[in-house]
Structure 1
Amino acid sequence: MTEKKNECGVKYTLDVLENRWRPRIIFWLGFRPFTIEELHQLLPDLTDVALNKEITSLQNLRIINPVVDEEHKYSLTNDGNDLRNMVVATSVWGRQQIDDSANQVSAQIVEPEKDASMAELIKYNEELDKYM
């Protein structure tokens, strides 16, 4: 997938993000650090094996920190945070284009508070579905 280092930057980025789950994993881990159990709550359709595979892959790409913190939580690297900013911006742009094409006014997306409960974050997935 991303082994072809001599291709253009846009292609490389799209290859990293082509998977359905990676933008969401990047979104959530850039929101705040989470344990594997919390990520499962936020991504309930992703199996244990698949989630672990995606985390390992994103660690190998230097997007997720290779070492979890003392609370066993995963987080993004600086490059991962840069990628998250781009993912959020392109997701909002894409949603606005979809809404414009349907002659609808785009709702303003607002991220939850950093200290939001897991229940609030799980509910936020409904809003996130419109963007990612």
Structure 2
Amino acid sequence: MTARSKESGLKYATNVLQDQCQSVLIFWLGFRPLKMEELTELLSDVPKEELVSKLHALQNLRVVNPICDKADCYSLTEDGDQLRRLMISVSVWGVQQQDENADRQSMFVIEPELDASIKDLVKYRQTVEKYL
């Protein structure tokens, strides 16, 4: 993506976020550090090879830490955390606008507890998919 350095900052950011898999990875890795096995469970519709490729792409963009921690977990960098916060804000705004335009009441969304089991996080995927 560095070859696109002449495009606007917004265009650069949207190029990163328009990849559904990358956006979902950013969400989950900002929730808490996760092992590859956990990521494959949370993104069960993405082949592991593609997941690894997306993780490497995000590492190259300095969004995901280039080295797993001692527990062999992936996590976001500080830049990744900032991007995640912006992504969530824009996603919530978008859903609220869609609901308002359709005369629907927007749903209040609460993230799961940080110590939630993977089983509970998998149940939360539908909510994530609505926003991302």
- The whole-number CA distance in structure 2 between the counterparts of 1:20 and 1:129 is 9
- The whole-number CA distance in structure 2 between the counterparts of 1:24 and 1:5 is 24
Structure 1 residue aligned with 2:92: 92
Answer 1 or 2: which has greater helix percent.
Answer: 2
Amino acid at match of 1:13: A
Question: Which segment drifts farther, 74-83 or 96-105?
Answer: 96-105
Once the two structures are superposed, residues 67-87 of structure 1 have per-residue CA deviations (whole angstroms, 9 ceiling, x without a partner) of 000111000000000000001
Once the two structures are superposed, residues 50-97 of structure 1 have per-residue CA deviations (whole angstroms, 9 ceiling, x without a partner) of 000000000000000000001110000000000000011011001101
CA RMSD of aligned residues (A): 0.9
**Matched length:** 132
Structure 2 residue aligned with 1:13: 13
- The whole-number CA distance in structure 2 between the counterparts of 1:21 and 1:13 is 15
1:74 and 2:79 equivalent?
A: no
Give the gaps of 5 or more residues in structure 2: none
Give the gaps of 5 or more residues in structure 1: none
Identity of aligned residues (%): 45
Once the two structures are superposed, residues 15-60 of structure 1 have per-residue CA deviations (whole angstroms, 9 ceiling, x without a partner) of 1111111111000000000011100110000101100000000000
Give the TM-score normalised by structure 2. Answer: 0.97
Give the TM-score normalised by structure 1. Answer: 0.97
